[in-house]
Amino acid sequence: MRTQIITFLRRLILAGGGLYLWSLALSRLNVPEYIVPPPQKVLATLMEDTSLLSRHFTETFKEWLTGLSGSVVLALIVSLAAFSSPFIEKHVRRFLVISQAVPYLTVAPLLLLWFGLGSAPKIILILLTCTFPIAQLTLAGLHNAREKYSVLATILRFSPVRALQKLYIPAALPDFLEGLKISVTYAFVSTVLAELIGSEAGLGVYLSRAQAAYRTDRVILVVLFIVCFSLLCTFAINRLSRRLLYWRVENNV
């Protein structure tokens, strides 16, 4: 507990020092506010637009959560199906590679054209962006687990399904969590980018209007918001990993 408090205080001091240097550099270099606003201006904008930001963030959060949940479910289905059948794995790997070769900024306008300005295009874009890393890492973890524990499964006379439940899935859990850690950030950024191209509400809409009005304070505020949310998600996944992977030897030494 004491170590966590010290770490938090260090990060707080580091953040405060960064804000001070930001403000000091702008004042010394005489940079106009419309180019790069000082931190106090960004803070004032945050207080002024709290309700507006809350409304837009709620919309983005709903789309992010729905898309990420769908990506997790789809990735688990794909990885387990590919693991159980070499034929399925062969075709799944091709599809996953192709899905990552497509530039999503070119796909987003098509999705908006086909599905309108609602939540559907953002959710589909998240599925395309986030299913690959989760499925790829989970599948690799399952294969590694089978290489390590197949002999043990034979000794214990486990059926393929029981070996999957008792040995392979728990051993592949760290790889799944690594894929999830990557995807939580990808999903949020993809949602905001899709909203930038076209949407009725969300942080992307707020950002687009700020750019059109040359409100750099609002633009920087959204960028900081995305960074902070991504860091929070990463922290949450790390905490979840420590709780779920308590059995790992390196965590108990």
Q: Which domains does the chain have, with CATH numbers?
A: 36-252 (1.10.3720.10)
Q: What pLDDT, in 10s, does the model give residues 60-107?
A: 898 889 988 999 999 899 888 888 888 887 777 777 777 666 676 677
Phi, psi of 35, deg, nearest 5: -90, -60
Q: What pLDDT, in 10s, does the model give residues 172-182?
A: 888 899 888 88
Please say if the pLDDT value at position 231 is more than 70: yes
Tell which wins on pLDDT, 3 or 127: 127
- Alpha-carbon distance values, 73 to 22, 70, 129, 157, 169 (Å): 43, 5, 14, 30, 15
Burial of 229 (0-12, 13-18, 19+ CB in 10 A): buried
Distance CA 145, CA 162 (A): 14
- Count CB atoms within 10 A of the CB of residue 168: 24
**pTM of the prediction?**
0.80
Sign of CA dihedral 50, 52, 55, 61: negative
User: To 10 degrees, the CA torsion angle through 242, 229, 37, 198?
Assistant: 150
Distance CA 90, CA 78 (A): 12
